[in-house]
Amino acid sequence: MLVRFVASSRLPTEWGDFLMHGFEDPASNKEHVVLTMGDFDNGEPVLSRIHSECLTGDALFSLRCDCGNQLRTALQAIAEEGRGALFYLRQEGRGIGLLNKIKAYRLQDAGADTVEANERLGFGADMRDYSLLGPMFAHLGITSVDLMTNNPRKVMALSDLGIEVRQRLPIETSSNPHNEKYLRTKGAKLGHMFRAD
């Protein structure tokens, strides 16, 4: 069964008022949300971000990654534009889950990079599934985006779903001593692009 829409409500934030749309995925028993601002009826590309859940970075302020900074940067950009959508997918740890992510962190503490750690635990480097976005885009009536991402897989995934990616907008955040190796690995092994095309 496909991801299905459940309900919407207003979500006031420090960047302004968003609408929060809740979706459920019966296959995985996970719930996902999309935060939107503005009107999408004119068919113009929508400033968008696909953000996978990162409890440690988004809510616990971890310096091991750039996730929390990317989330805040995207919400601020949408607020400044006055129009946009942030898709928040419950795919923690590139899809391996929170507890396995903690195990991966332990391997990283012993010297593995983020890709090596996932692979030593028996997972692929990136287990996220972006096909579940199709029903969300359809529900919101979004067919074209300006996508805030460093990850080329997200561009390809949207194209595969028939969503036009008019342009990719890199999300650049500052590095720190705790995430420098992580960021280098994302570029070298996962193909992330930190500059504009």
Flag whether 93 is marked binding: yes
> For the chain, what are the domain ranges?
4-91+128-190
Flag whether 49 is marked binding: yes
Alpha-carbon gap, residue 71 to 58, rounded angstroms: 7
Q: What's the mean pLDDT in 134-138?
A: 96
Q: What's the mean pLDDT in 32-57?
A: 94
Cβ 143 vs Cβ 164: under 8 Å? yes
Flag whether 134 is marked binding: no
Report whether pLDDT(183) > 80.
Answer: no
Q: What are the start-end ranges of the H helices in the chain?
A: 67-81, 92-95, 98-109, 114-120, 133-140, 152-160, 180-190
| Per-residue pLDDT at 174 | 72
CATH 3.40.50.10990 given to domain 4-91+128-190:
yes
Report whether pLDDT(3) > 90.
Answer: yes
| Per-residue pLDDT at 112 | 87
Flag whether 67 is marked binding: yes
| Per-residue pLDDT at 185 | 60
Task: Name 145's bridge partners.
Answer: 46, 165
Q: What are the residue numbers of the active site?
A: 126, 128
pTM comes to 0.90
| Per-residue pLDDT at 157 | 94
As a whole-number percent, the residues of the chain with pLDDT over 90 amount to 64
Tokens of residue 125, six digits = 């480097």
- Rama region for 4: left / alpha / beta (φ>0; ψ in -120 to 50; rest): beta
Q: What's the mean pLDDT in 45-66?
A: 93
Mind listing the pLDDT tens digit for each residue in 99-132? Answer: 999 999 999 999 888 888 889 989 988 888 999 9
Question: What is the number of other CB atoms lying within 10 angstroms of the CB of residue 78?
Answer: 25
Task: Name 157's bridge partners.
Answer: none
Q: Which residue has the tokens 């004119």?
A: 42
| Per-residue pLDDT at 148 | 96
Length of the chain: 197
